[in-house]
Amino acid sequence: MDTRILALSPERLEDFKAYCRKHGQVVDDSFLYEEDLAEFQIHEEHPTYLAVNGEGEVVGAASMIADAYQRRGKQARFRIFHTETEDTAVYRRLLDEIVKHGEGLASMFIFVPSVNPGLMERVAQLGFQVERYSFLLVNEPLQPAPYELPEGYRLRAFRPGEDEEAWCTVRNAGFAQLKGSQTPITQDMVAKYSGEVDYLNGGMLFLVHEERPVGIVRCSDDEYLDAPIMNIGSLALLPEYQGKGLGRLLLRRALEFGRENGYARAILCVNAENERAKALYLQEGFRETEYAVNYRLDLR
């Protein structure tokens, strides 16, 4: 019997989650962590479809993230797009259903890790175009280098309930030209960070110059290859403070924070075109472990 494509129903919710857990190692699992799956519910912001075989077994899934943040950038991101059949026709049928939810969007994108060349081939056949490359870098064992704050500068921790606006100001200005991060984040989004399971107390830091926040770095709990690791994200500086060695200072403080909190290693992602940042990370002891390709499907 032919494979059927079905919209996710409450009766199939746990089947969908089980499928994500089963195949999370060969797809981009950024939104497939256990806490993400535990919170996942059927909602218009993340339309989801299943491919079901004649025996009623789930053999494929496509789920899109089209929340308010993504829609501000007129795009949507795949949570998962995968089939066990490896049949391009099944991928096409799943995609056809997802695209119906793309009203008002300019594009959809998916990250495909280097461990899955088969999926790269499939999405290319479906009309996706390569947008950019992203490298995963790991630093282990953590051996932070010393740093010295220039005169007039200091580091301080983020204060929940007080610093959301300042965090957005630095992050949005620093990432305004960075592919994949141009859409501004909001204070409401930042306010949620301290309630997330990966939050580390004191792990969100400001670099302050004469009482003005000019740089940020966020350290959070993560897991890589089934072992704990500290994730370094949102390392940003106001444009006028870039190119002064302050990013290196923030990175070294982040690594120091990781060691202080019992982490033996740290991980981060960097876009291939961000050559200056990648060079900095390699100089500071990171090494490239794998990469992912960001594919874009134009809807207009």
Each residue's pLDDT expressed in tens, for the chain with a length of 300 residues? 589 999 999 999 999 999 999 999 999 999 999 999 999 999 999 999 999 999 999 999 999 999 999 999 999 999 999 999 989 999 999 999 999 999 999 999 999 999 999 999 999 999 999 999 999 999 999 999 999 999 999 999 999 999 999 999 999 999 999 989 999 999 999 999 999 999 999 999 999 999 999 999 999 999 998 899 999 999 999 999 999 999 999 999 999 999 999 999 999 999 999 999 999 999 999 999 999 999 999 998
* CA gap 111, 122 in Å, rounded: 13
Question: What domains can be seen in the chain, in order of their start residue?
Answer: 4-127 (3.40.630.30), 138-291 (3.40.630.30)
Cis-peptide, bond into residue 141, ω within 30° of zero: yes
Amino acid symbol at 103: E
DSSP 8-state code for residue 193: G
- Cα→Cα distances 279→40, 137, 283, 284, 292, Å: 37, 11, 6, 9, 18
Which two three-digit tokens encode residue 113? 């890790």
What local confidence, expressed as pLDDT, does residue 200 receive? 98
* CA gap 170, 239 in Å, rounded: 9
Nearest to 266 by CA among 224, 231, 227: 231
Length of the chain equals 300
* CA gap 297, 123 in Å, rounded: 9
Strands (E), the chain: 4-7, 48-52, 58-65, 75-83, 107-113, 129-139, 153-157, 199-209, 212-224, 227-237, 266-271, 287-298
Q: Map 55-68 to HEC letters.
A: CCCEEEEEEEECCH
Q: Which residues contact 115 (CB under 8 A, 6 or more apart)?
A: 25, 26, 290
pLDDT digits (tens, 9 = 90+) for 130-170: 999 999 999 999 999 999 999 999 999 999 999 999 999 99
Cβ burial of 17 (10 Å; 0-12, 13-18, 19+) is: middle
